[in-house]
Amino acid sequence: MTHTVSFVGLGAMGLNSARLLAAAPDIALRAFDLRAEALSALEAAGGTPCASAAQANQDAGYAVVFVVNGRQAEEVIFGAGGLHETARPGLVIISCVTMLPDEAAAIGRRCRERGWHFIDAPVSGGMVGAAAGTLTVMAAGERGVIDACRFIFDRICKRLMVVGDQAGQGSMVKAINQLLCGVHLAAAGEAMALAERAGLDKQAVLDVVGQSAAASWMLNDRGPRMAAGDFGSVTSAVDIFVKDLGIVNDVARAMRFPAPLSAAALQSFVGVAGVGMGKLDDSAVMLYYPQPEQGGRQS
């Protein structure tokens, strides 16, 4: 049996996941993105490029949304040229978008009102995980519907974690995940910047702390780039953590929950992005701390 699947959002991670789906013999993938080069790359991988989300969704039983934020997700589902224009009853929408839990819950309600199923399924694993099909998916929705989508999830992720049955719960778990990722990465950047300020060999420091109780996944993954000063090979940009930690702080504020560590980490990323370095690899968060002998870092 061949499933027709629409896919909207061919960014750095989305395109890699879409390629894996396009290669599956039981999936006919139809995709839309605003960038012609992304559509060309998808076509080369075996997918069908389309001129709008509505066209991509023609005759589809499943739709994967992989855009940047909640506003974009709402637009591609309900806006002009959106999925709604061609959606048939029972359409399953899988949202891999990092957004506010309240945004996901609201989109889920609107989908239910139209007779569609909505799975709140943000992901973790970055470009590398998307390319390898080893993402972690934090899915919330009807269990039976999630199970029916395993032919999609099995292609794009290594771990499918069902974290709830209500839209918004997946996004809340993603916010907690990003809180820890952002704090760990900001702490790693501070430590490596301090090593540099002290005139130490950063790689030697990394070799020590990366094998001690101070180690973290973020330190060992981003640390080599910090030690080498290689911030141009981007796997995830500084701007992504400006967005994601912004979501964490918005959630905390709405819940009247103190989150001082994530707030401090956010300022590190904002500080780097604010001087023109938001498109660099997120390991560039260490550049928040200027080195006196260089008179401060410039973008």
Active-site residue numbers? 174
Residue 188 to residue 266: CA distance in whole angstroms: 14
Residue 207 to residue 202: CA distance in whole angstroms: 9
Task: Look up residue 122 and give its two tokens.
Answer: 């943000």
Residue 247 to residue 113: CA distance in whole angstroms: 26
Whether the CB-CB separation of 188 and 166 falls below 8 Å is answered with no
Q: Is residue 67 left, alpha or beta, with left meaning phi > 0 and alpha meaning psi from -120 to 50?
A: beta
With 0-12 / 13-18 / 19 or more C-beta atoms within 10 angstroms meaning exposed / middle / buried, residue 85 is middle
Residue with tokens 């994967």: 64
Residue 274 is given by DSSP the state I
Whether the CB-CB separation of 176 and 257 falls below 8 Å is answered with no
Q: Which residues make beta-bridge pairs with 138?
A: 161
Picking from 127, 246, 121, the residue whose alpha carbon sits closest to that of residue 173 is 121
Element (H, E) at 81: none
Q: Identify how many contiguous H helices and E strands the chain contains and give both numbers.
A: 13, 9
Task: Look up residue 153 and give its two tokens.
Answer: 């999830």
